[in-house]
Structure 1
Amino acid sequence: MKKILLFLFLGAVGFTAYSCDNNDDVVVQGTDYDTISQMKDITGTFSNSGNYTISQGLNIPTTDVVLVYRLVAGNVWQQIPKSVYIPDVNNKPTNRVFDYNFVFNTQNIEIRIDDENFNLPTDLTSGEIATYLNNQTFRIVLVPANATGVGGAKNKQASVDYSDYNAVVKYYNLDESKVQVLKAN
């Protein structure tokens, strides 16, 4: 009788082990209707009176990634932070450089000029002021921190190159015709 109970017990354990595999775990990826990528354009002028900062109130969800791009020319966007090396000209200091940078919290974003190694108001020509300080347009792109909802090493998907504005627009299927335009200072 003891041998029969032992075989029944081993059979039950074997049957349980065989019937419990993880090959039937199916993850269904649904459409996420509440996570929406957003784009906003902010145009402003950096000035000494504003501490070379353009500030804009925005509602930024804590689950979003904040990307900022500067309009360089036409439809060319350059990701910031970015160091700007200004060419040498007569009667101005040499090796002039500064950084476009930004900081943000859930209510505000500040785009600023940092780490300048020269005096901005006196050591820039009028053309350089027009190019680097006046009427600067920045595009703020808010994207979900984990757009795929997939985690773990087994399920990694190709990521997007955030330094390439066009790749970000394509990856997140952003509609550039719906960009909200804001005017700062």
Structure 2
Amino acid sequence: MKKIFSLAIVGLLAFSVVSCDRNNNDVVDQVQGTDTYSTAYDLNNVSFVKNASGIYAISRNFNSALIESDVVLIYRKSSTLSDGTAVWQSIPRTLFLTQGELDYDFDFSRLDILIKAGGTFDPALAPTYINNQTFRIVVVPAKTGKNASANSVDTRDYNAVARFYNIKDANLKSL
């Protein structure tokens, strides 16, 4: 009788260990379990303006204030493939040009974003990189990044971010 009881206890423990899984492998549940739904905005054909501090910048206000825990990712359209597909580079980014290094950087608050261009030379000497630029601003919930796992997303890759957060180009808003 003691052998059967011992085997039953071991079996019950093995069953509970195998059936209890704290890892959530469903990416959709990770995103939907937050207070924020991911949102993407486009800034099309915008040019940097030199401000009073001598910094080339683009600033925009959000349509409504972000939740305090939201995170902003920004991508610059660096080129277009022959089939019309945009090529997105995450910023911050340093470009190594013949004139020197050109840096794109940004900061954000709950109310706005500020994208900056600067470097080892005056960006006005490379107008192609500061005029008529297109940026994609992606707002995502920070909660999904809190517990990194095998399902985490490479935020440097816009296409991976769009897949992870189910962002559709048809749903993009202008900022």
> Do the structures match in fold with TM over 0.5?
yes
Output the amino acid matched with 1:134: N
Distance 1:55 1:86 in 2: 25
Aligned counterpart in structure 2 of residue 77 of structure 1, from 88, 112, 122: 88
Question: CA, structure 1 residues 26+101, in 2 after alignment: closer, same or farther (shift >3 Å)?
Answer: closer
Contact 2:104 2:115 in 1 (8 A): yes
Q: Does 1:98 align with 2:91?
A: no
Structure 1 position 147, deviation (Å): 2.9
**Letter paired with 1:45:** S
Q: CA RMSD in A?
A: 2.9
Whole-angstrom CA distance in 2 between matches of 1:143 and 1:69: 14
- 1:135 is the counterpart of 2:132: yes
The 3 A distance-change label for structure 1 pair 33 and 62 is closer
Aligned equivalent of 2:123, options 120, 127, 131:
120
Query: Once the 2 structures are TM-superposed, how far is the Cα of residue 157 of structure 1 from its aligned partner?
Result: 3.8
Work out which of the residue numbers 46, 56, 61 in structure 2 matches 1:52. 56
Task: State the percentage of identical aligned residues.
Answer: 36
For the residue of structure 1 that corresponds to 2:152, the secondary structure is: coil
Higher gyration radius (CA): 1
* Unpaired segments ≥5 residues, structure 1: 1-20, 88-93
Give the drift of 1:181. Answer: 1.7
1:99 Cα deviation from its structure 2 partner? 0.6
Superposed CA deviations along residues 131-155 of structure 1, whole A, max 9, x for unmatched, are 2011111111011112388x59xxx
What are the residue-to-residue correspondences of 1:12-91 with 2, within 5 Å?
A: 23=16, 31-32=32-33, 34-43=35-44, 44-49=46-51, 51-58=55-62, 59-74=65-80, 75-87=86-98
Number of aligned pairs? Answer: 147
Q: Give the 4+ runs in structure 1 shifted more than 3 A.
A: 23-34
- Show CA shifts across 1:89-115 (max 9, x none): xxxxx5x1121000111111000113x
**How much does 1:158 deviate?**
2.3
Aligned residues of 2:102 and 2:123 also touching (Cα < 8 A): no
Amino acid at match of 1:171: F
